[in-house]
Amino acid sequence: HETAIIGENVKIGKNVSIHAHCVLEDDVEIGDNTVIMPLVYIGEGSKIGCDGLIYANVSIRDNIIIGDRVIIHCGAVIGSDGFGFTPDPTNHSPYKIPQIGSVVIEDDVEIGANTTIDRATISETLIKNGTKLDNLVQIAHNVVIGKDCCLAAQTGIAGSSQLGDRINMAGQSGVIGHLTLGENTVIYSKTAVTKDIPPGSHLSGIPARPHKQELRFQASIRKMPELLQEFNKLQKRVVELEEKLHELEKEES
């Protein structure tokens, strides 16, 4: 489109469609048959493979690598700074650690609307082949997500955690930083993973525990009002029996 702004040394493949008001900075590379919808920003040195589809208002920062057949939905941000701060020894205010790494998104990945993937501190944040991210997913710096994973909306992965292949995470679940989750794991909705997880696990709850164990725990909680009422009756009965026993002891003495 004539309103698109194209920088220097940009390489555009065959049959590429660049719509209105897009910005491609210097040294960007776009593969064959890729479609870039209106108002997309692609930062300096970033590379997008063939047959991709980048919807409107996507921001792709500098030096990002995106593979073939990748779909990125509206409003997603790829390569924003990781949340890296340390206390300033002079005044204890948060001191920003420069985030100079990259994001690598392999082939056949789909990224939902308003999802954010932060660049690594030094190396790369990596999303492997075939993984699908829903809307409003947060991937922090230095995270590695394996092949063919599915992460539902409002899932959050904290910095430097690693997910194995074929992991499914339901909505509003989360993983704290620097953990490893084994392949073929299922994380149920609203689960908080706080420790390393072996392959093939099925987890739910806060903190995460085996799913069947959590179901039993939740069933027990639902019975608590009845159990508390019964406990109060038993406690009252014990007091009555103690009083009678005390009276009998007095009579015998």
pLDDT score recorded for residue 107: 98
- Compute the Cα dihedral for 124, 125, 131, 133 and give only its sign: negative
Which residue out of 1, 19, 141, 202 is catalytically annotated?
141
Classify the phi-psi angles of 203: left when phi > 0, otherwise alpha if psi is within -120 to 50, otherwise beta. Answer: beta
Over residues 166-188, the mean pLDDT reads 98
CB-count exposure of residue 64 (10 Å: 0-12, 13-18, 19+) = buried
pLDDT score recorded for residue 8: 97
Mean pLDDT of the chain: 94
pLDDT score recorded for residue 248: 81
Tell me the percentage of the chain whose pLDDT exceeds 70: 100
Tell me the percentage of the chain whose pLDDT exceeds 90: 79
CATH number for the region 5-211 comes to: 2.160.10.10
> Residues 65-96: pLDDT tens digits?
999 999 999 999 999 999 999 988 888 899 89
Beta strands 94-96 and 85-87, pairing class: antiparallel
Over residues 128-138, the mean pLDDT reads 98
pLDDT score recorded for residue 230: 86
SS3 content of the chain, % helix, strand, coil (to 5): 15, 30, 55
202 labelled catalytic: no
Over residues 47-70, the mean pLDDT reads 98
pLDDT score recorded for residue 60: 99
| Closest of 78, 20, 76 to residue 47, by C-alpha | 78
Over residues 225-242, the mean pLDDT reads 86
| DSSP, residue by residue, 22-54 | -EE-TT-EE-TT-EE-TT-EE-TT-EE-TT-EE
Would you say residue 211 has pLDDT above 80? yes
Q: How many residues does the chain have?
A: 253
pLDDT score recorded for residue 19: 98
Would you say residue 135 has pLDDT above 90? yes
What is the distance in angstroms between the CA of the first residue and the CA of the last residue of the chain? 106
| Peptide bond connecting 207 to the previous residue in cis, omega within 30 degrees of 0 | yes
